[in-house]
Amino acid sequence: MPDIYALSRSARATASAAVLPADLAYGALLEALGDEVEAVAKELEIYAGEEPPLNYALDVEVEGVLQAAEASGFERFHLVGYSGGGASSLAFAAKHTERLRSLALPSTSRWAA
């Protein structure tokens, strides 16, 4: 099940580009945004295979967010991290501040601790 969505209204490098972890939390949002929004799903790296990647660390998730954004053509984007995706988002923001237009971290406290 995908955990990160990359969204863009029409041009991929627009100010409305966003990456959102935890797909189940964003169903209503995606529906409200409608057909004008292109969604690209990406699972958190820890869940992408049968076992976590060898030498798994939060940096693996940071790289996953970066790869999702670059594959979608997002130079700068909004990042919304929910639950476990919030820890990835917070770590991404610390390493790649220049890539973000904004950062939102709803329901992240137990993961970011």
**Which comes out higher in pLDDT, residue 80 or 19?**
80
Q: What crossing angle do the helices spanning 84-95 and 58-71 adopt, rounded to 10°?
A: 80
39 burial via Cβ count (<10 Å: 0-12, 13-18, 19+)? middle
DSSP-derived pairing of the beta strands 18-21 and 4-8: antiparallel
**Are the C-beta atoms of 68 and 19 separated by less than 8 Å?**
yes
Give the predicted TM-score (pTM) of the model: 0.74
At the top level of CATH, the class of 4-112 is: alpha beta
C-alpha 98/C-alpha 41 separation (Å) is 23
Q: How many residues does the chain have?
A: 113
pLDDT tens string 25-42 = 667 766 776 676 655 557
pLDDT tens string 55-108 = 999 999 999 999 988 988 888 887 877 777 888 889 999 999 999 988 888 776
